Amino acid sequence: MTTPSEKVLKILSSLLDMDWIAYHSSLKADIEWCIYVIKEQKIYQTNIQADKEELIEYVNWAVNEQLEVAEQEIPIKIDTYMNIPLYEKYGSEIESLLADSHKWDFDIFNFEIVTENQSLQIMTNHLLSLYNLYQILSFDNKKFMSFINEIQNGYHKDNFYHNATHAADVVQSFYYMLNTCQAIDICKLNDFDIGVCIISAAIHDYDHPGVNNIFLINTYHSLAIMYNDKSVLENFHVASAFKVLYEENNNFIEGVQKEDSKRFRMKCIGLVLATDFARHFTDLGKFQLRFSNCGVTDEEDRLLVMEMMMHASDIGNPSRPWKFCYEWANKVMNEFFAQGDKEREMGLTISNLCDRHSVIIPKAQIGFIELFIEPTFNILEIVLPNVNENVKYAIENKEHWKETMDNNNAN
**Residue 50 and residue 114 in one domain:** no
**Residue 160 and residue 249 in one domain:** yes
**Residue 140 and residue 257 in one domain:** yes
Do the annotations mark residue 330 as ligand-binding?
A: no
**Domain at 296, CATH number:** 1.10.1300.10
> Active site residue: 102, 126, 162, 208, which one?
162
**Enclosing domain of residue 74:** 4-80
pLDDT (tens digit, 9 = 90+) per residue, 90-148? Answer: 568 999 999 999 999 999 999 999 999 999 999 999 999 999 999 999 999 999 999 99
Percentage of residues of the chain with pLDDT beyond 90: 76
**Residue 178 and residue 286 in one domain:** yes
* Domain termination residue (choose one: 51, 80, 109): 80
Write the CA distances from 265 to 87, 162, 256, integer angstroms: 28, 23, 12
Q: Residue 362's Cα: distance from chain center in Å?
A: 29
The mean pLDDT value of the chain amounts to 88
**Residue 131 and residue 49 in one domain:** no
The reported pTM is 0.80
Nearest to 284 by CA among 372, 197, 364, 369: 372
Please say if the pLDDT value at position 46 is more than 70.
Answer: no
Do the annotations mark residue 45 as ligand-binding?
A: no
* Domain termination residue (choose one: 49, 80, 111): 80
Write the CA distances from 283 to 155, 278, 289, 305, integer angstroms: 27, 9, 10, 10
On the CB side of 49, how many CA atoms lie within 13 Å of its CA? Answer: 5
Do the annotations mark residue 162 as ligand-binding?
A: yes
Do the annotations mark residue 102 as ligand-binding?
A: no
Nearest to 33 by CA among 65, 70, 80, 68: 80
Contact criterion met (CB below 8 Å) for 292 and 382: yes
Task: Over range 29-55, report the average pLDDT.
Answer: 61
On the CB side of 194, how many CA atoms lie within 13 Å of its CA? Answer: 25
Do the annotations mark residue 400 as ligand-binding?
A: no
**Residue 273 and residue 155 in one domain:** yes
Nearest to 342 by CA among 236, 205, 208, 212: 212
pLDDT (tens digit, 9 = 90+) per residue, 60-79? Answer: 433 344 444 434 444 444 33
Write the CA distances from 394 to 275, 363, 371, integer angstroms: 20, 14, 12
**Residue 358 and residue 286 in one domain:** yes
Q: Please report the sign of the dihedral spanned by the C-alpha atoms of residue 58, residue 63, residue 66, residue 69.
A: negative
162 catalytically annotated = yes
**Residue 193 and residue 98 in one domain:** yes
**Residue 75 and residue 87 in one domain:** no
**Residue 184 and residue 237 in one domain:** yes
**Residue 117 and residue 214 in one domain:** yes
Q: Please tell me the total count of domains within the chain.
A: 2
**Residue 51 and residue 187 in one domain:** no
